[in-house]
Chain A
Amino acid sequence: MDKIFSPKDEAELAQIITKAKSDNISLRIKGGGTRQGLGNFIKTDAILSLKNISGISLYEPDALTLVAKAGTSIKEINKLLKKEGQRLGFDPMDHRAIYHSSGEPTIGAIIAANISGSRRIIAGGARDALIGVRFINGSGEIIKNGGRVMKNVTGLDLVKLMAGSFGTLGVLSEVSLKLLPIAQRELSLIINGQSLEKAISTMSKALGSPFEITGAAFLPNEKDEAKTCLRIEGFSSQVDYRLKKLSELLVKGEKIEILEGKLHEKLWQSIRDVKTFKNSKKPLWRLSIKPSDAPAISNQLSKITAADMIFDWAGGLIWAQLQDEDNAQADAVRHIIKQFGGHATLVRGSDELREVVDVFQPEQEMVAKLSSSIRQKFDPSGILNPNLMGNFGEK
């Protein structure tokens, strides 16, 4: 059994890290434990659990701001926000379906991994909602950056840097977030039977319209039929208006469906959480690309193996499940993305596969050098989630 540290507050957390540094003990940082498969396969001397550093520090509905300790569960946050008609604008993906994991996702981990959902295209990602952080760096120092106001350009923006750094620059103890109101009403406009090319153009038109689509996804094989899904929201009469306008703009004789209520919610939860690929352990890739490249990339991916795909972010996000645990296939994915731009992450893969394949795409040499030197400054002994994000080009 690994040794587990579970500090009860920030001060104790800092002490543990200070001691770990002097004893040269590497730490794997753990929130709710629902995403331990995300990142390179690593082995550490001990686990550092944030589960006891939990609770809402401040919630101001009239300022649309929330401050929460890192170990606070998303469930608790969502429940609280819902009461005031508010939400996390980035609507983070829940990874439990694709990892078959249990436990409760925590806000610290969501920020550390910069996890967003389908609303990313309009409301921004986790990094955009994040307005302040407190963290402990690899030397055990407590650092704060940003604050709890929406606009803040005081000094370098380490807030953004912390989002998506997967704990390799510091352990978050508290985060401040900007919130959004929940729309009065939402529904799905689904167009059936479009090809990928057609769907991409439909979604692009929808996002190029003034009707503030909050989700645009293409599911090629849903119940044997391709579905182009658009999420429309607003206050009640606005939703009717937008639906009418969008139908006029986008539907040219295709069969459509309109979902509202439970079915609508279920659909978007399933898209956000990539439930299409839940009953499987096959390698799952996430490609962030220029939306109009989706058809060409999808085409090439299909040449590697019988790949199953769904498309979120109007085509800008491809989830691709490959057939085999095979590092040659991984190389092929990376080769494809190189031609188009963007990046590919191996989100699900066995420990063995992740031991030989870089989960995150290697960076351009100069950028990797910068990343590596930043890590050096923040965690000079390399004790925090070592190698989880890769070694930035250093062998």
Chain B
Amino acid sequence: MSTIVMPEPDQSILDRSSEIIAALKEILPHDAVIFEKSETLAYECDALVAYRCSPLAVVLPRNTQEVSAIMKTCLRLGVPVVPRGSGTSLAGGALPTKDSIILGTNRLTKVLEIDTDNRFIKVQTGVTNLSVTGAVEGDGFFYAPDPSSQLACAIAGNIAMNSGGAHCLKYGVTTNNLMGVTMVLADGEIVEIGGAHLDALGYDLLGLICGSEGQLGIVTEAYLRILAKPEGARPVLIGYDDPRTAGTCVADIIKAGILPVAIEYMDRLTIVATDKFSGAGYPDVEALLIVEVEGSDEEIDYQLNKIIKIANKLNPAELRQSNSEEESALIWKGRKSAFGAVGQIADYICLDGTVPVSQLAYVLGEIGDLSKKYDLQVANVFHAGDGNMHPLILYNANDPVELEKAEHLGADILRTCVEVGGCLTGEHGVGIEKRELMTSQYSNEDMEMQMSVKDCFDPNWLLNPAKVYPLELSESRRQNLKMGAK
């Protein structure tokens, strides 16, 4: 049995399934409404695959107006709406319930405007992260936030989760690169916030919307900041026999005034797994760092020399520089395939707790102890420069008892992250996964304040209602919908 529960579906909605589907068909082109079980299968879960459920229907609108019409209809009929991008959320953010419809962004894929003079691109939010960079690359620009899932994940999901990536130490996360949105509110009203200028007017609603996990509105269009591509980039690989020393190395680099674009960390378990999988040829060490800097060749040399000097002071077991594009690619190859590689050994739960950089070594130690206590392996691969850890808990998904054990271990690790001054999630979001753990980071007043903001945008809690906040806390609000519909 697993520890995460979803609320019982509302029978009165299920009873009206055909009426609801008919109403949606009336306002949308025929191919935009999907309800056959065989076709909705693909929408039953996101990347938190241990949890799945078939939705009442899936709608795939092509523009903001259609989204508005859907929301009006769903509000009128009292049907919850779960927004979905590409379904790569690791937190169950896009998981539907039986009594909800999925609103997918799959067909919102237009690039609306590219303006390199003013350094922005305007897109419909169903475009993938990587294709945004693809659209401006030819002009020498790129879109900075680069989640490892960038080939698949949509800007919609990135905005909803405030996603980060390997390069956010230097460039920030989605919220720092988002200039404006068009959003449809739960009642179908369309609002535009921000735009081609900096700092939206009035309260920073843009900041609120980014990371709101589909609970405030459906984001249909976005202005994204694009940046000039650096002249070049090059990584160095540094291995240590002790995680603590690797932690010290990270701190020393940052303190020396160097701001690498990325500092990635891998532990032995990950190294072994990725090496087998990708043939990257990683050294046999306890802790491996990949540090990447950018600039012209000389600029890169200068920075890498400084980093190498710092690293050498701490007696690395291995220090590998790159002399060519191929060698650089090889250094990154293992890291980029790390998740897939670990997935080859076993099923895993990917955590996302973030800790102050000064606490990294301590928390790694604690994770080791907890891993022994629960008798489950944990692989660590993460963004070290900003303390965003990704412990991967290995377990057997076919064994419900082990899933529950893995979830308990995960909860203990996340509590440790919070205890040392960190947080439950650095970039994946709360979703259903960390919903009940919110109480370890926030008081009831803190969460009440947050939920009251949702009340302003979505008074009936129509949008993604059973996410982020502990079910018990959101219970009365989620009842609003039922009352309204009856």
A residues neighboring B (CB under 8 Å): 60-65, 84-86, 114, 116, 120-121, 124-125, 127-128, 137, 141-145, 147-161, 163-165, 169, 180-182, 184, 201, 204, 207-210, 234-235, 237-238, 241, 288-292, 313, 316-317, 341-343, 360-361, 363-364, 366-368, 370-371, 373-374, 376-378, 389, 392
Judge whether B211 and A151 touch: CB under 8 Å: no
Partner of A181 from the list B201, B257, B295, B383 (CB cut-off 8 Å) is B257
Q: Is the CB of A124 within 8 A of B176?
A: yes
Flag if A62 contacts B198 (CB, 8 Å). Answer: no
B358 touches A341 (CB 8 A): no
Q: Contact at A371–B202, with CB atoms within 8 Å?
A: yes
Q: Quick one: CB contact mask for B450-468 with A, threshold 8 Å, 1 for yes?
A: 1011111100000000001
How far is A153 from B352 in the complex, measured between Cα atoms in Å?
10
Smallest CB separation, A119 vs chain B (Å):
12
Please list the 4 inter-chain residue pairs (A to B) with the smallest Cβ-Cβ separation, ordered nearest first: A160-B207, A151-B426, A62-B251, A181-B257
Residues of A close to B192: CB separation below 8 A: 364, 367
* Residues on A with beta carbons closer than 8 Å to the beta carbon of B438: 154-155
* Pairwise interchain contact A156-B228, C-beta atoms closer than 8 A: no
B427 and A153 contact, CB distance less than 8 A: yes
User: In whole Å, how far is A295's beta carbon from the nearest beta carbon of chain B?
Assistant: 12
Would A157 and B172 be within 8 Å (CB), given that A62-B357, A207-B119, A342-B197 are in contact? no
Query: Roughly how many angstroms separate A144 CA and B141 CA in the complex, as a whole number?
Result: 37
Q: Which of B122-177 contact A (CB under 8 A)?
A: 140-141, 161-162, 164, 168-169, 172-173, 175-176
Residue of B whose beta carbon sits closest to that of A143 = B449
**Chain B 170-188: CB-based contact to A (< 8 A → 1; otherwise 0):** 0011011000000001000
Whether A210 and B231, one on each chain, are in contact in the complex, defined by CB atoms closer than 8 angstroms, is: yes
Check A377/B445 contact, CB under 8 A, given A62-B251, A65-B356, A210-B228. Answer: no
How far in angstroms is the closest Cβ of chain B from A168?
8
A152 touches B191 (CB 8 A): no
Instruction: Determine which of A152, A292, A316, A377 lies in contact with B452 in the assembled complex, contact meaning CB atoms within 8 Å.
Output: A377
A361–B454 alpha-carbon span in the complex (Å):
25
In the complex, chain A residues whose CB is within 8 Å of the CB of B454: 156
Known: A62-B251, A127-B204, A165-B203. A151 touches B427 (CB 8 A): yes
Q: Known pairs A85-B257, A158-B208, A368-B202. 11 more at Cβ < 8 A?
A: A63-B387, A149-B386, A149-B426, A156-B215, A161-B203, A165-B204, A201-B117, A210-B230, A292-B117, A316-B118, A374-B456
Q: Output the nearest chain B residue to A147 by Cβ-Cβ distance.
A: B423
Interface size, chain B (Cβ < 8 Å) = 94
Residues on A with beta carbons closer than 8 Å to the beta carbon of B204:
114, 127, 160-161, 163-165
- Check if A161 sits within 8 Å of B254, measured CB to CB: no
Whether the Cβ atoms of B299 and A208 lie closer than 8 Å is no
Give the interface of B toward A (CB within 8 A).
Answer: 115-119, 140-141, 161-162, 164, 168-169, 172-173, 175-176, 185, 189-193, 195-199, 201-208, 210-212, 215, 228-231, 250-252, 254-255, 257-259, 295-296, 298-299, 302-303, 354-358, 383, 386-388, 421-430, 434, 438, 441-443, 445-447, 449-450, 452-457, 468-469
Instruction: Indicate if the CB atoms of A163 and B207 lie closer than 8 Å.
Output: yes
Point out the residue from B172, B191, B215, B254 that lies within 8 Å of A128, measured CB to CB.
Answer: B172
Closest beta carbon of chain B to A314's beta carbon, Å? 9
Evaluate contact between B207 and A153: CB separation under 8 angstroms.
no
Nearest CB of chain B from residue A40's CB, rounded to whole Å: 13
Find B118's partner among A147, A204, A241 (CB 8 Å cutoff). Answer: A204
Nearest to A149 among chain B residues (CB) is B354
Specify the chain A residue showing the minimal Cβ separation from B190: A366
Inter-chain CA distance A234–B231, complex, in Å, is 15
Report which of A86, A128, A368, A392 forms a contact with B176, defined as CB distance below 8 A: A128
Closest residue of A by beta carbon distance from B303: A235
- Asked if residues A316 and B208 are in contact (CB atoms below 8 Å), the reply is no
Task: Check B442–A377 contact: CB distance below 8 A.
Answer: no
Q: List 21 A-B contacts (CB under 8 A).
A: A63-B251, A63-B356, A137-B449, A141-B445, A142-B445, A143-B449, A144-B446, A145-B449, A154-B434, A157-B175, A159-B207, A169-B203, A182-B257, A210-B230, A210-B231, A238-B299, A241-B298, A288-B199, A290-B118, A290-B195, A367-B193
Does A161 lie within 8 Å of B207, measured CB to CB?
A: yes
Q: Is the CB of B421 within 8 A of A148?
A: yes
Given A210-B230, A341-B195: A156 touches B254 (CB 8 Å cut-off):
no
